[in-house]
């Protein structure tokens, strides 16, 4: 998959992660896309290392969304701590 395809899939994964994660994060288009791409990369490496699902399948897409949700939770925790006095 090319770079454009990776960005599009990353954006879709990021939007789905924000949809499924409760709460409100003030993130723009670029951060959402980067979150989705990072979730996809993390899910690909973990799934490949543990041999959980085939590459490019539905399982990898679901794992990418879950990975992006985990990163969203971590992002919220880090951002929440930095806003406190």
Show the CA angle centred on residue 29, arms to residues 57 and 34, nearest 5°: 50
Q: What is the pLDDT of residues 35-50, one digit of tens each?
A: 878 877 777 777 777 8
Q: What are phi and psi of 23, to 5 degrees?
A: 105, 175
3-36 pLDDT tens trace: 676 677 778 888 888 787 766 667 777 777 788 7
- What is the C-alpha separation between 64 and 16, in angstroms, rounded? 10
Res. 1: pLDDT tops 80: no
For the chain, what are the domain ranges?
3-82
Kindly report the pTM of this predicted structure.
0.73
């Amino acid at each position: 998959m090319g770079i454009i395809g990776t960005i599009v899939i990353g954006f879709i994964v990021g939007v789905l992660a924000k949809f499924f994660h409760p709460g409100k994060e003030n993130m723009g288009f670029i951060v959402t896309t980067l979150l989705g791409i990072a979730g996809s990369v993390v899910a690909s490496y973990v799934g490949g290392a543990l041999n959980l699902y085939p590459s490019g399948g539905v399982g990898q897409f679901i794992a990418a969304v879950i990975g992006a949700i985990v990163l969203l939770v971590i992002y919220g925790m880090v951002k929440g701590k930095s806003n406190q006095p």
